[in-house]
């Protein structure tokens, strides 16, 4: 008994309290220390701000790098119905503004876009896009070029019934008739147009825009969008340009696109420095002729894409710089062009300012001459009236609001300083947002609405923002290179676009730029900094010393637990992409 | 089974019988034999234990703190300088409530180098929270070591078993070594109150603010009181198995004593022979051997000394600026007891010098012939310098 | 990084490390790599406090806080006890600061690794006694201000090369790691865990408070230390086989020094001296790794 009592006494724990911790520190809310507050705030990538169509390029690249090709393609479609076209012919100002350019080389954004369009075409993908409920208003679009079709696409997304009227027998405008097949194959364009039609857009061909037709439209539609382009080549304003053998570059390209094989034997001279001039020259080479481009400035001043000029020269096109035609004359069955030599007298607007180089002249004799110095509206009245008196000149379109009559918007080449497909699309988008705002909220809201839809500092607009998508939450701040944490990126060469070799190119109108594989596209997209966007890299969560960054379901999405966040700011600095912001705590 | 053992081996035998699982030690004379025996036992498989041959006494105690925290029974032995080096961790072991048991072979502190007996090393550790036993002979060493485990584990405090250098550590005596089975009956396998456990994680030794530190220290104070109250029961159990009992103190013929010597360690044996001698000459000498120094058995000391006319404390140690340390403790124990006898303090045998029967008799007569202590401590046997 | 994407966390929030504490980040990475079958010894260091006051602990593994100089020894004891209990699965880890490793704990560390005790010793290095208020240690780099090397008395001695000291013990595995290179760090912890015997990890863990840098720069500065070769990332097996894990572009040390308050007094000439030291150390390392500049 005594022993048992002893044993019991001994088994009693003699320790009532000792230095031993068993409870979590969770009760200690260290968030009270904080005087700086991090938060997730996506910002604007410079590429997306530079894209006239306002494409969400950073996100497109991110989705592509993750192999989410359909989602990437749909992300383009929200802002641009022509990924297959722009992936081929866009002048890609996005690449020029790419922050990666300061690191090694810009992302091949256009090539990735083309890859996505090819992939969608190959697998016959159907986009699943947000669409607003149907509206009572019907809208007419005159001109089925890139601007008109883009406007119709966006208006359809916004709930409007749209009819597009086109003078030609087929839709596409400059895309159908002005760009050679080796740059834009017919199937690629047709695929895009078919998708636009599938969206509910009705296209009526063989319906040229006349004053009477326009009046008819006004009786049955709530608004009209006039986007019939610049179809007529600008005059050279030199003696002899009306002579036989002097042709119109655009018309020449259109003949080829209609299926004709014009006789181009011998030497053809092309006047101009834009893409049309280069397209004409390269088409001539492909048809067996010789081509000489005469340009009054230097090669580097040419508005044509540098790559195109380079390839043209490789294919045998000749280029003479700093010459301007002064006089065109007959020389037997041929034509003789007298050239005034020019010289550079300084720089203006990023290119050389020219003046005559004394009295120097020379002559060129050729079988024929093509004018390709620019184009203008087919009819003077297509052009917008001067601003004021009911017409507002917006960045990419002109909007005329007339008492008792339907609104009339003009866009595309009719209003744009830079005549590009991307700008044409920008016009269509701006007109669509403006008209939608007019119908929903009234004319007074249009400017503020456009401002709200601006990507970065503008003038690019986002339809996703207008439709209330997540993109509206982004800060307008355009991320600069210094804000990227380049420690997280490795040097990697830009992809090389595979192309037909020169000999193959010169023989046919087959597309020059070849398809790229998913691997190459993904690797290229992986190079993207995704400026200002969260790609779930997890650095914020990983480096948080205070376990105050929480992850959402399946590891996606992040949030900050302000109960514990001490505001050290590590997450913001270690964010490779500037998708976070550190602010003073408001307390 | 009776065997003739060196005092050091008596310690080692007890450690073996206690089924200690981790031994850690660093060599220092005169403790070395203990760990040599244990090394042999570990190497030969006589003991199933890990022997950590650490690079210092400080690491030695640190390693035991780690091992004991992980839930095993541990042991070490040291002396003099080694104990001094351990000092920080003696506090740690007690504060962490770890029932580590250590054999401490008293050795004088340098300079100059002196490897011989002197209790100042262990007594300087009296405030570290360790239980301290002082042993008189080899049998008591083996018995005390086993009891020390039982008591230490009962109250979750570390315990020190103290032996005189050479006079005990290196002296061969017949010792009754318990059988393992008997030892197991007295000392069951170690069960930690708390331990490192990945299935139930906790943190030992965190930052402790003033709001609770004092309560933790008070809990150690209470555990020391509990040690004092539980020890007789433990000794009863020991006696039931082995038939030997020592008590927290041993009062030898104190009932009718006029003068009582207060002793500790091997000096007690010398005093025992003087007692026989003096008693035969009609002198009424008694002896109070203090075995348990921490916790200090105040009541037992008061009871044993209450009837004496005078008390003479023999200290083989010294607290500079004060007095012999046992004398201080005895005075402190008696001062609140009404009518207590005067306490004479004597310092003898410092640094290994012999404490002979003649020296003790000199102390006896000095005490008998003085009305009151001339000073707190009188150094006996000093030469002119 | 699969591991870091997982939600294995062995720390609770609410610890009291300074904002931007590199040592807290290092602990997080270490435990993610080691997992729950881990016992930790923490000798006196910032983490004695960071872990939380009684009765709380921020770590979800068993921990024993220990005296300053005992990191190697306490671990030896814990390992011995586990061995005796037949527990071979649990990893025993000592987690010490630079003072507890380079200075006061060096003896116990040297003793433990000489015995080839089966444990991982991790030194998180913030290059001074930070917990006591920024005093100089033998890990404090040449040129640094601390509260005990103030004004003109800035530290004129080199930082002790602790990994070389450990390699000289011919331990099975020694490596450097940095909070700025989590994948490398986690790989090395895993590798250490899979190796037997004494293993040593030297983790560069910046201290915004003591280095006088903005807290948000804590990881960046650690990365710069690697990029400048001030803190090279390498591994040593058996004290013999060196592997250099990153070959940085050898950025000049200047930028690293210029942004830290503790080095503000240094002149261009001082920085030239330091650059020479760093270059010299790097050449030496390359030679040991059998490589040439």
Segments making up each domain of chain A, as ranges: 28-42+534-584, 51-127+478-526, 138-231+377-452, 233-375
Same domain flag for B200 and B284: no
> What is the distance between the alpha carbons of residues B314 and B350, in angstroms, rounded to a whole number?
11
Same domain flag for B182 and B264: no
- At the top level of CATH, the class of A28-42+534-584 is alpha beta
Same domain flag for B210 and B268: no
SS3 (DSSP) at C127: coil
Do the Cβ atoms of B219 and A19 come within 8 Å? no
**Tokens in use for C129?**
């006694």
Same domain flag for B258 and B237: no
Domain count, chain C: 1
Do the Cβ atoms of A6 and B236 come within 8 Å? yes
> What is the distance between the alpha carbons of residues C134 and C143, in angstroms, rounded to a whole number?
14
Same domain flag for B61 and B202: yes
> What is the distance between the alpha carbons of residues A468 and A103, in angstroms, rounded to a whole number?
34
* Residue C30 CA to its chain's centroid (Å): 11
Interface of B with C in 79-98 (CB under 8 A): 88-89, 92
Q: Is A573 on the interface with C (CB under 8 A)?
A: yes
Helix axes of C71-84 and C106-114: crossing angle, nearest 10 degrees: 40
Do the Cβ atoms of B64 and C77 come within 8 Å? yes
Q: What percent of chain B has pLDDT over 90?
A: 99
> What is the distance between the alpha carbons of residues C27 and C211, in angstroms, rounded to a whole number?
19
Q: Where among B242, B261, B291 does a domain terminate?
A: B242
For B72, nearest residue in chain C (alpha carbons): C81
Q: What is the pLDDT of residue A9?
A: 67
pLDDT in tens, C151-186: 999 999 999 999 999 999 999 999 999 999 999 999
Interface of B with A in 137-176 (CB under 8 A): 154-156
C38 strand-pairing partners: C91
Domain ranges, residue B43: 2-242
Q: What is the pLDDT of residue C2?
A: 45
A246 strand-pairing partners: A369
Q: What is the pLDDT of residue C1?
A: 46
Do the Cβ atoms of C20 and A30 come within 8 Å? no
Do the Cβ atoms of B65 and C74 come within 8 Å? yes
SS3 (DSSP) at A258: helix
Do the Cβ atoms of B63 and C107 come within 8 Å? no
For C58, nearest residue in chain A (alpha carbons): A25
Residues in chain A: 587
> What is the distance between the alpha carbons of residues B238 and B242, in angstroms, rounded to a whole number?
6
If we measure between CA atoms, which residue out of B270, B293, B296 comes closest to residue B364?
B270
pLDDT in tens, B295-304: 999 999 999 9
Q: What is the pLDDT of residue A349?
A: 80
A36 strand-pairing partners: A584
Do the Cβ atoms of C73 and B63 come within 8 Å? yes
CB nearest to B65's CB, from C49, C61, C77? C77
SS3 (DSSP) at A43: coil
Domain ranges, residue C112: 10-288
Do the Cβ atoms of C77 and B66 come within 8 Å? yes
Do the Cβ atoms of C14 and A564 come within 8 Å? yes
**Tokens in use for A265?**
């034997």
Q: Is A538 on the interface with C (CB under 8 A)?
A: yes
Best C216, C227, C228, C255 member to test A by mutation, with max A CBs in 10 Å, is C216
Residue B324: partners with Cβ closer than 8 Å, 6 or more residues away: B313, B314, B315, B317, B318, B345, B346, B347, B377
If we measure between CA atoms, which residue out of A282, A272, A340 comes closest to residue A302?
A272
Residues in chain C: 293
Chain C residues at the A interface, defined by Cβ less than 8 Å, are 1, 4-5, 7, 9, 11-17, 19-22, 24-25, 28, 51-52, 54-58, 65, 179, 182, 208, 214-220, 223
Q: Is A14 on the interface with B (CB under 8 A)?
A: yes
pLDDT in tens, B43-102: 999 999 999 999 999 999 999 999 999 999 999 999 999 999 999 999 999 999 999 999
Do the Cβ atoms of A18 and B236 come within 8 Å? no
CB nearest to C54's CB, from A19, A545, A568? A19
Q: Is residue C49 in a domain? A: yes
A232 strand-pairing partners: A376
SS3 (DSSP) at B51: strand
Q: Where among B191, B210, B242 does a domain terminate?
A: B242
**Peptide bond before residue B30 is cis, with ω within 30 degrees of 0:** yes
Q: Is residue B260 in a domain? A: yes
> What is the distance between the alpha carbons of residues B103 and B161, in angstroms, rounded to a whole number?
5
Assess whether the region A138-231+377-452 and the region A233-375 belong to the same CATH fold.
yes
Same domain flag for B207 and B83: yes
Do the Cβ atoms of B70 and C85 come within 8 Å? yes
What are the start-end ranges of the H helices in A259-362? Answer: 275-286, 306-314
> In the structure, how many helices (H) and strands (E) does chain B have?
12, 16
Q: Which CATH superfamily is domain A138-231+377-452 in?
A: FAD/NAD(P)-binding domain (3.50.50.60)
Do the Cβ atoms of C54 and A24 come within 8 Å? no
Shortest distance, CA B219 to any CA of chain C (angstroms): 16
Q: Is B210 on the interface with A (CB under 8 A)?
A: no
Q: Is residue B10 in a domain? A: yes
Strand-pair category, A232-233 with A375-376: antiparallel
* B6, B14, B167 from B9: Cα distances, Å: 5, 8, 14
CATH number of the domain that residue C121 is part of: 3.40.50.970
Shortest distance, CA C102 to any CA of chain A (angstroms): 25
Q: What is the pLDDT of residue A583?
A: 96
Query: Per mean pLDDT, which range of A106-120, A280-294, A510-524, A546-560 is the poorest?
Result: A546-560
Q: Is residue C3 in a domain? A: no
Domain count, chain B: 2
Q: Is A576 on the interface with C (CB under 8 A)?
A: no
Q: What percent of chain A has pLDDT over 90?
A: 86
Shortest distance, CA A561 to any CA of chain B (angstroms): 25
| Better-scored residue on pLDDT, A284 or A380 | A284
Where residue B339 falls (left for φ over 0; alpha for ψ -120 to 50; beta otherwise) is left
Shortest distance, CA A532 to any CA of chain C (angstroms): 18
Q: Is B210 on the interface with C (CB under 8 A)?
A: no
> What is the distance between the alpha carbons of residues C186 and C203, in angstroms, rounded to a whole number?
11
Same domain flag for B39 and B63: yes
C53 strand-pairing partners: B207
Shortest distance, CA C31 to any CA of chain B (angstroms): 13
Best B206, B213, B217 member to test C by mutation, with max C CBs in 10 Å, is B206
Shortest distance, CA B205 to any CA of chain C (angstroms): 5
Q: pLDDT band for position A6 (50/70/90)?
A: low
Q: Is residue C293 in a domain? A: no
Q: What is the pLDDT of residue C5?
A: 45
Strand-pair category, C234-237 with B22-25: unpaired
Q: Is residue C1 in a domain? A: no
CATH code, A233-375: 3.50.50.60
Burial string for B179-195 (b: 16+ CB within 10 Å, else e) reads eeeebeebbeebebebb
Q: Is B197 on the interface with A (CB under 8 A)?
A: no
Q: Is B360 on the interface with C (CB under 8 A)?
A: no
CATH number of the domain that residue B291 is part of: 3.40.50.920
Same domain flag for B136 and B238: yes
> What is the distance between the alpha carbons of residues A48 and A237, in angstroms, rounded to a whole number?
40
> What phi, psi does C60 have (nearest 5°)?
-95, 15
| Better-scored residue on pLDDT, A351 or B267 | B267
Do the Cβ atoms of B236 and A15 come within 8 Å? no
Shortest distance, CA C249 to any CA of chain B (angstroms): 43
pLDDT in tens, B170-180: 999 999 999 99
pLDDT in tens, B90-142: 999 999 999 999 999 999 999 999 999 999 999 999 999 999 999 999 999 99
Same domain flag for B177 and B290: no
Shortest distance, CA C216 to any CA of chain A (angstroms): 4
Q: Is B226 on the interface with A (CB under 8 A)?
A: yes
Q: Is A30 on the interface with C (CB under 8 A)?
A: yes
Give CA torsion, residues B364, B370, B372, B376, to 10 deg: -50
Q: Is residue B384 in a domain? A: no
Q: Is residue B385 in a domain? A: no
Contacting residues of B for A22, CB less than 8 Å apart: 202-203
| Mean per-residue pLDDT of chain A | 94
Shortest distance, CA C239 to any CA of chain A (angstroms): 32
Q: What is the pLDDT of residue A223?
A: 96
Q: Is A15 on the interface with B (CB under 8 A)?
A: yes
C-beta atoms surrounding C289 within 10 Å: 16
Q: Is residue C253 in a domain? A: yes
Question: How many interface pairs between B and C have CB atoms less than 8 angstroms apart?
Answer: 160
Return the half-sphere exposure (C-beta side, CA atoms, 13 A cut-off) of residue A199. Answer: 32
The whole-number average pLDDT for the span A31-37 is: 96
CB nearest to B54's CB, from C60, C76, C81? C76
Shortest distance, CA B377 to any CA of chain A (angstroms): 38
Touching subunits for chain A (3+ Cβ pairs under 8 A): B, C
Same domain flag for B277 and B235: no
Residue A351: partners with Cβ closer than 8 Å, 6 or more residues away: A297, A300, A301
> What is the distance between the alpha carbons of residues A50 and C282, in angstroms, rounded to a whole number?
45
If we measure between CA atoms, which residue out of A302, A242, A230, A239 comes closest to residue A272?
A302
Q: Where among B187, B214, B242 does a domain terminate?
A: B242
Same domain flag for B322 and B221: no
pLDDT in tens, B294-353: 999 999 999 999 999 999 999 999 999 999 999 999 999 999 999 999 999 999 999 999
Do the Cβ atoms of A570 and C4 come within 8 Å? no
> What is the distance between the alpha carbons of residues C182 and A349, in angstroms, rounded to a whole number?
49
The whole-number average pLDDT for the span A221-231 is: 94
C-beta atoms surrounding C249 within 10 Å: 8
Mind listing the pLDDT tens digit of every residue in chain C (293 residues)?
444 445 789 999 999 999 999 999 999 999 999 999 999 999 999 999 999 999 999 999 999 999 999 999 999 999 999 999 999 999 999 999 999 999 999 999 999 999 999 999 999 999 999 999 999 999 999 999 999 999 999 999 999 999 999 999 999 999 999 999 999 999 999 999 999 999 999 999 999 999 999 999 999 999 999 999 999 999 999 999 999 999 888 899 999 999 999 999 999 999 999 999 999 999 999 999 998 75
**Tokens in use for A408?**
């009339």
Angle at A274 between CA A271 and CA A278, to 5 degrees: 70
Do the Cβ atoms of B59 and C76 come within 8 Å? yes
Do the Cβ atoms of C65 and B198 come within 8 Å? no
Sign (positive or negative) of CA dihedral B87, B91, B93, B98: positive
Q: Is B216 on the interface with A (CB under 8 A)?
A: yes
The 3-class secondary structure across A232-252, one letter per residue, is: EECCCCCCCCCCCCEEEHHHH
Contacting residues of C for A547, CB less than 8 Å apart: 9, 11-13, 28
The whole-number average pLDDT for the span A558-573 is: 97
Percent helix, strand, coil in chain B (nearest 5)?
45, 20, 40
If we measure between CA atoms, which residue out of A299, A344, A340, A302 comes closest to residue A323?
A340
Give CA torsion, residues C61, C67, C73, C79, to 10 deg: -20
SS3 (DSSP) at C176: strand
| Better-scored residue on pLDDT, A586 or A460 | A460
Q: Element (H or E) spanning B235, and its range?
A: helix B210-242
């Amino acid at each position: 008994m005594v022993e048992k009592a002893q044993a019991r006494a001994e088994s009693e724990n003699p320790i009532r309290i000792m230095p031993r911790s068993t409870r979590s520190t969770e009760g200690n809310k260290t968030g009270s220390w904080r005087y700086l507050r991090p938060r997730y705030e996506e910002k604007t990538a410079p590429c997306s701000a530079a894209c006239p169509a306002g494409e969400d390029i950073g996100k497109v690249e991110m989705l592509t790098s993750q192999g989410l090709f359909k989602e990437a393609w749909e992300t383009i479609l929200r802002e641009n119905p022509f990924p297959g076209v722009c992936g081929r012919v866009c002048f890609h100002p996005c690449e020029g503004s790419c922050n990666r350019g300061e690191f090694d080389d810009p992302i091949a954004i256009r090539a990735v876009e083309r890859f996505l369009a090819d992939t969608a075409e190959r697998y016959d993908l159907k986009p699943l896009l947000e669409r607003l409920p149907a509206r009572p208003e019907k809208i007419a679009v005159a001109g089925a070029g890139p601007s008109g079709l883009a406007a119709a696409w966006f208006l359809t997304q916004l709930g409007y019934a749209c009819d597009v009227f086109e003078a030609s027998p087929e839709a596409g405008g400059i895309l159908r008739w002005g760009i050679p097949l080796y740059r834009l194959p017919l199937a690629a364009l047709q695929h895009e147009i078919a998708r636009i039609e599938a969206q509910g857009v009705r296209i009526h061909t063989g319906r040229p825009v006349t004053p009477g037709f326009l009046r008819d439209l006004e009786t049955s539609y709530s608004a009209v969008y006039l986007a019939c382009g610049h179809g007529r080549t600008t005059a050279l304003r030199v003696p002899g340009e009306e002579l036989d053998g002097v042709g119109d570059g655009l018309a020449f390209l259109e003949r080829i696109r209609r299926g004709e094989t014009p006789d181009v034997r011998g030497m053809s001279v092309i006047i101009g420095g834009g893409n049309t001039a280069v397209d004409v020259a390269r088409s001539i080479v492909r048809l067996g002729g010789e081509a000489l481009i005469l340009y009054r400035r230097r090669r580097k001043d040419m508005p044509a894409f540098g790559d195109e000029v380079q390839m043209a020269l490789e294919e045998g096109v000749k280029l003479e710089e700093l010459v301007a035609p002064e006089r065109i004359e007959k020389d037997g069955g041929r034509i003789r062009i007298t050239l005034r030599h020019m010289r550079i007298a300084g720089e203006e607007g990023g290119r050389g300012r020219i003046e005559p180089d004394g009295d120097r002249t020379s002559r060129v004799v050729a079988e024929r001459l093509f004018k390709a110095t620019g184009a203008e509206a087919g009819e003077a009245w297509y052009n917008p009236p001067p601003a004021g008196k009911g017409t507002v000149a917006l960045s990419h379109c002109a909007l005329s609001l007339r008492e008792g009559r339907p609104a009339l918007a003009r866009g595309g080449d009719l209003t744009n300083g830079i005549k590009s497909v991307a700008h044409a699309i920008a016009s269509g988008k701006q007109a669509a947002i403006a008209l939608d705002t007019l119908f929903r909220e009234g004319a007074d809201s249009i400017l503020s609405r456009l401002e709200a839809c601006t990507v970065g500092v503008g003038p690019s607009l986002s339809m996703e923002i207008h439709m209330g998508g997540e993109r509206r939450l982004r800060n307008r701040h355009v991320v600069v290179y210094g804000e990227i944490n380049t420690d997280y990126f490795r040097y990697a060469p830009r992809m090389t676009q595979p192309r037909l070799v020169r000999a193959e190119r010169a023989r046919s109108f087959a597309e020059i730029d070849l398809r790229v594989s998913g691997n190459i596209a993904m690797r290229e997209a992986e190079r993207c900094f995704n400026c200002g966007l969260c790609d779930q890299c997890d650095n914020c969560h990983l480096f948080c010393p205070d376990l105050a960054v929480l992850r959402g379901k399946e590891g996606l999405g992040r949030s900050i637990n302000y109960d514990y966040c001490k505001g050290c700011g590590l997450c913001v600095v270690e964010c490779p992409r500037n998708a976070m912001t550190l602010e003073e705590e408001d307390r | 089974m009776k065997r003739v053992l060196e005092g050091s081996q008596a310690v080692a035998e007890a450690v073996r019988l206690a089924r200690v699982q981790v031994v850690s030690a660093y060599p220092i004379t005169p403790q070395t034999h203990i760990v040599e025996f244990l090394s042999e036992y570990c190497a030969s498989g006589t003991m199933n234990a890990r022997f950590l041959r650490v690079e210092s006494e400080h690491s030695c105690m640190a390693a035991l703190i780690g091992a004991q925290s992980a839930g095993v029974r541990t042991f070490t032995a040291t002396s003099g300088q080694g104990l001094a080096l351990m000092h920080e961790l003696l506090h740690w072991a007690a504060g962490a409530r770890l029932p580590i048991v250590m054999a401490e072979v008293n050795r004088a502190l340098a300079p100059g180098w002196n490897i011989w007996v002197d209790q100042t090393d262990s007594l300087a550790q009296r405030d570290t929270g360790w239980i301290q036993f002082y042993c008189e002979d080899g049998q008591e060493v083996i018995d005390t070591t086993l009891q020390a485990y039982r008591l230490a584990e009962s109250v979750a405090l570390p315990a020190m078993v103290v032996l005189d250098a050479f006079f005990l550590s290196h002296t061969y005596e017949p010792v009754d070594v318990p059988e393992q089975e008997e030892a197991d009956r007295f000392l069951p396998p170690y069960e930690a109150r708390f331990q490192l456990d990945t299935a139930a994680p906790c943190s030992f030794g965190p930052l402790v603010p003033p709001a609770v530190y004092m309560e933790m220290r008070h809990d150690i104070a209470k555990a020391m009181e509990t040690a004092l109250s539980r020890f007789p029961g433990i000794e009863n159990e020991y006696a039931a198995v082995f038939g030997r009992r020592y008590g927290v103190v041993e009062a030898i013929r104190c009932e009718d004593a006029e003068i009582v010597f207060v002793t500790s360690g091997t000096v007690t044996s010398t005093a025992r022979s003087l007692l026989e001698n003096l008693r035969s000459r009609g002198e009424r000498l008694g002896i109070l051997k203090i075995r348990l120094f921490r916790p200090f058995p105040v009541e037992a000391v008061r009871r044993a000394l209450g009837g004496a006319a005078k008390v003479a404390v023999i200290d083989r140690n010294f607290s500079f600026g004060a007095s012999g340390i046992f004398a201080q403790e005895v005075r402190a124990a008696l001062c609140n007891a009404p009518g207590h006898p005067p306490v004479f303090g004597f310092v003898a045998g410092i640094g290994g010098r012999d404490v002979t029967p003649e020296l003790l008799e000199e102390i006896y007569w000095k005490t008998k012939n003085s009305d009151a202590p001339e000073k707190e401590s009188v150094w006996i046997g000093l030469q002119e310098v | 990084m699969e591991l870091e994407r997982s939600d294995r966390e062995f720390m609770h929030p609410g610890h009291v490390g300074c904002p931007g504490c590199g040592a807290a980040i290092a602990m997080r990475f270490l435990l993610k790599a080691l997992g729950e079958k881990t016992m930790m010894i923490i000798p006196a260091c910032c983490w004695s406090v960071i872990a939380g006051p009684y009765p709380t602990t921020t770590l979800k593994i068993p921990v024993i806080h220990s005296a300053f100089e005992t990191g190697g020894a306490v671990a030896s004891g814990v390992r011995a006890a586990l061995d005796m209990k037949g527990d071979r699965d649990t990893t025993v880890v000592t987690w010490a600061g630079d003072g507890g490793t380079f200075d006061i704990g060096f003896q116990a560390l040297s003793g433990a690794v000489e015995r080839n005790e089966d444990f991982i010793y991790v030194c998180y290095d913030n290059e001074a006694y930070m917990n006591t208020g920024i005093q100089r240690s033998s890990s404090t780099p040449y040129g640094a201000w601390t509260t005990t090397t103030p004004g003109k008395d800035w530290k004129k001695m080199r930082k002790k090369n602790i990994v070389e000291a450990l390699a000289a013990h011919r331990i099975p595995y020694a490596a450097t790691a940095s909070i700025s290179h989590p994948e490398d760090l986690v790989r090395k912890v895993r590798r250490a865990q899979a190796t037997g015997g004494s293993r040593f990890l030297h983790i560069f863990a910046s201290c915004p408070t003591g280095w006088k840098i903005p807290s948000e720069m804590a990881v960046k500065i650690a990365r710069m230390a690697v990029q400048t070769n001030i803190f090279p990332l390498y591994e040593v097996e058996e004290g013999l086989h060196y592997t250099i894990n990153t070959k940085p572009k050898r950025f000049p040390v200047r930028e690293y020094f210029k942004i830290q308050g503790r080095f503000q007094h240094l002149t261009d000439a001082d920085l030239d001296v330091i650059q020479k030291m760093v270059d010299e150390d790097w050449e030496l390392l390359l030679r040991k790794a059998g490589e040439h500049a």
